[in-house]
Amino acid sequence: MFKGIDYYDIESELSPQARAVRDRARAFVEGNVMPHIGEYYRNGTFPLDLVPVMGGLGMFGANLAGYGLPAIDNLAYGLLMRELERGDSAFRSFASVQGALVMYGILAFGSEEQQRRWLPLLANGRAIGCFGLTEPDHGSDPAGMTTTAVRDGDGYRLTGTKMWITNGTVADVALVWAKLEGQIRGFLVERGTPGFSAHEIIGKLSLRASVTATLVMEEAQVPQEGLLPGALGLKSVLQCLNQARYGIAWGALGAAMACFEEALSYVEKRQAFGRPVAACQLTQAKLADMVTEITKGQLLALQLARLKDSGRLRPEQVCLAKRANVRMALEVARTARAMLGARGITDACQSMRHMCNLESVDTYEGTYEVHTLALGRDLTGIDAFT
């Protein structure tokens, strides 16, 4: 059973509710993810039969309130994301897209009718959502999107292509961002909508256990009720991204902790030059650095949760944590992979799988560079994006 690493006794800060959420998620990952993840990764599949199970465990939109949603605090939510990503980034990604991007978007910007219809279904995993923002030619700069919506009778016609969309081919509903009369608006596009199709992207060397797709809209016919009335402009998009980035800052810790635990356990047993590899000074230096960086990341995430729960969280603080914790996890995964020697390049170990996944996590939800520039702008007041 995964123990994790808690060098600074963060456990003592956890409420009984947070511990219960963490323990439930840990048991789910131990029982349902770990025995099969090697196979999912190799085959490039996500186990859709686990979606209602995750829904039943309250894993979707867990920190949201209303419509019977769990409304757990953000520390408990962070631990949930951490445990899921300890199994594989694909599971945290699924929960992020479903809860933090789609459900949050509907809750924050949807009509009451949209909320009543979709939130219970998405929460219990009886429906799957995806979030269509990125386009083939506009990733870091979504303001430049070319997908357009035009009014057509009582509804809209959407034309454009969205790319790299998690869950695109398995989603019942896509939250698609498009420009209507020049302004970015959000639309709920249902599976089966005339003019709308989704196509799986194959050949990924990262996040292989997650479904990634292209969404094509050729005058897709979206009824009036599909428009999210409250989503106006890029700011609404970025509000959704903040929620998901918060979860990623926590999730990355799970991947890092899994890699650390795997590397430590291996070097304690593996012999070289007649003694355990753990007895080598260079190995101990690696372990000391890994645990230091993970602990710093944990304290960062802990304070981020406190800021979010007290309503004082600024978007740039989320950028800092997403940027720092994902890059830290990537470094930890690379170091762990090296410590596992040749065995570390096979799927008998998990560190290289986490390492490959984290390359995507470093890129999506704002690349490392985008968050660097967001911080630079916050610190200097000078926009260096262009």
**Site residues (vs ligand FAD, CB under 6 A):** 97, 131-134, 139-140, 164-166, 207, 212, 360, 363-365, 367, 369-370, 373, 385
Which of 83, 331, 365, 369 is catalytic? The answer is 365
- Report the nearest approach of ligand FAD to the CB of residue 300 (Å): 21
Kindly tell me which residue out of 115, 239, 295, 372 binds ligand TGC, with binding defined by CB under 6 A: 239
Token pair, residue 193, equals: 């909508």
Residue 242 binds to ligand TGC (criterion: CB under 6 A)? yes
E strands present in the chain: 129-132, 148-152, 155-166, 173-180, 183-190, 196-200, 212-222, 227-232, 271-272, 275-276
Residue 307 binds to ligand TGC (criterion: CB under 6 A)? no
116 binds, options ligand FAD, ligand TGC, none, Cβ within 5 to 8 A by partner type: none
363 binds, options ligand FAD, ligand TGC, none, Cβ within 5 to 8 A by partner type: ligand FAD
Sign of the Cα torsion 214, 216, 221, 224 reads: positive
Strand partners, 157: 150, 221
Pairing verdict, β 183-190 and 271-272: unpaired
160/228 Cα distance (integer angstroms): 18
2/27 Cα distance (integer angstroms): 9
Q: Which is nearer to ligand FAD, 170 or 280 (CB)?
A: 170
173 SS3 class: strand
Q: Which is nearer to ligand FAD, 196 or 364 (CB)?
A: 364
- 3-state helix vs strand vs coil in the chain, percent to 5: 55, 15, 25
Q: Which is nearer to ligand TGC, 245 or 286 (CB)?
A: 245
85 binds, options ligand TGC, ligand FAD, none, Cβ within 5 to 8 A by partner type: none
Q: Is 365 an active-site residue?
A: yes
230 binds, options ligand TGC, ligand FAD, none, Cβ within 5 to 8 A by partner type: none
374 binds, options ligand TGC, ligand FAD, none, Cβ within 5 to 8 A by partner type: ligand TGC
337/267 Cα distance (integer angstroms): 12
Kindly tell me which residue out of 74, 166, 243, 351 binds ligand TGC, with binding defined by CB under 6 A: 166
Q: Which stretch binds ligand TGC (CB under 6 A): 14-22, 70-78, 285-293, 365-373?
A: 365-373
Kindly tell me which residue out of 48, 143, 288, 338 binds ligand TGC, with binding defined by CB under 6 A: 143
Task: Find all residues with CB under 8 Å of 224, minimum gap 6, and list them.
Answer: 154, 155, 156
Residue 281 DSSP class = H
Determine the distance from the C-alpha atom of residue 337 to the mean position of all C-alpha atoms in its chain, rounded to a whole number: 23
- Angle, CA 277 vertex, CA 275 and CA 282 arms, to 5°: 120
Within positions 106 to 135, which residues make up the interface with ligand TGC, using CB under 6 A?
131, 133-134
165/160 Cα distance (integer angstroms): 14
CB-based contact 102:129 (threshold 8 Å): yes
- Report the nearest approach of ligand FAD to the CB of residue 102 (Å): 10
Q: Which is nearer to ligand TGC, 65 or 143 (CB)?
A: 143
Residue 376 binds to ligand TGC (criterion: CB under 6 A)? no
Kindly tell me which residue out of 315, 334, 375, 376 binds ligand TGC, with binding defined by CB under 6 A: 315
Token pair, residue 375, equals: 């911080």
- Report the nearest approach of ligand TGC to the CB of residue 55 (Å): 17
Considering only CA atoms, which of 21, 115, 26 is closest in space to residue 73?
A: 21
Pairing verdict, β 155-166 and 148-152: antiparallel
28 binds, options ligand TGC, ligand FAD, none, Cβ within 5 to 8 A by partner type: none
Determine the distance from the C-alpha atom of residue 7 to the mean position of all C-alpha atoms in its chain, rounded to a whole number: 25
Q: Which is nearer to ligand TGC, 78 or 344 (CB)?
A: 78
Q: What residues are labeled active site?
A: 365
Interface residues with ligand TGC (CB under 6 A)? 93, 96-97, 131, 133-134, 140, 142-143, 166, 234-235, 238-239, 241-242, 244, 315, 364-366, 370, 374, 385
